[in-house]
Amino acid sequence: MNIIDRIAQRRMEYTLRQAYGQNAPIERGTNGSLFIKSDAAPVPAWKVDGKSDFDKFIRRYGMSATDSEGNEVKYTMASRGSVEASKNVTMITPIYTDKGGRRWLIIQEEARPIDIARRGQEARVLAFPAGIIGDEEAFKSESALSSAVRELSEETGLTAKKVESLSPIVMLDGKKSITPIMTSPGLTDESTFFFKAIIDSIKPSQKAVTDGGVTRGWHFVPLKHIMKWFKSISEFGKIPSGQTLSAISLLLKRTKI
């Protein structure tokens, strides 16, 4: 890490200590990044019990067809919820620009039950705020944009000053339209809309909780070093989700660094 990166890292640490207090648990990471722990409760020791019941968030569909030789073929797929809107989710990428003009990505470090059950108690996933569109009655008719802003607030306590779509643009009936990206086409019909959020506040709520997991803290990573950072932190068993990597790819495509 060169001297410019070190200076930027220390400046950002100073900014965070102004927000959280001088004794805040801030750790200096690789490639000029910083990490601040959440004060969430200890992570439960999850284990896989076997087949689970399906609820409003997950539906399993059995499908059948006849192939060209007249044989019946069967297939099973999972679906996001029981209403059309719930098949899609949103992910939003928070970006903060410091006084020196350096842009920082705020990335959650999450403890997810399935990863803990598979990889051990210290398994961690790196992700941006995300959630299901219309998963509750009060939000049944919300748009992808509204959902993204809501998830940002619920999971981090941050407020977006400006939001831009990162999703691919396609032509439908002669009109430009943003389209979600299929999460895992062979497994589920879930797809994701991606957004970028410009924020002014640098202080995520340490009590924020991620649906389906526990937020262990937040990494503040210089955008210019994001790919090097992912490579270095994966050596410690902290793995970015596929959605997170998609968000980064879309962001870098549209952002000059």
Q: What is the pLDDT of residues 42-69, one digit of tens each?
A: 777 777 676 666 666 777 778 888 888 8
Q: Could you read off the pLDDT of 124-170 as tens digits, one per residue?
A: 899 999 988 877 777 777 888 999 999 999 888 899 999 999 998 88
Residue range of the domain that includes 191: 3-52+85-254
Overall domain count for the chain: 1
Contacts by 59-64 with C-beta closer than 8 Å and gap 24+?
none
Beta bridge partners of 175: 172
Q: Is it the case that residue 178 has pLDDT exceeding 70?
A: yes
Q: Is residue 78 part of a domain?
A: no
Q: Could you read off the pLDDT of 209-256 as tens digits, one per residue?
A: 666 678 888 999 999 999 999 999 888 888 899 999 999 999 999 887
Q: CATH no. for residue 218? A: 3.90.79.10
Q: Is residue 73 part of a domain?
A: no
Whole-angstrom distance, CA of residue 156 vs CA of residue 128: 10
Whole-angstrom distance, CA of residue 122 vs CA of residue 212: 16
The pTM for the full model equals 0.83
| Residue 133 near residue 72, CB atoms below 8 Å | no
- The average confidence (pLDDT) of the chain is 86
Beta bridge partners of 103: 97
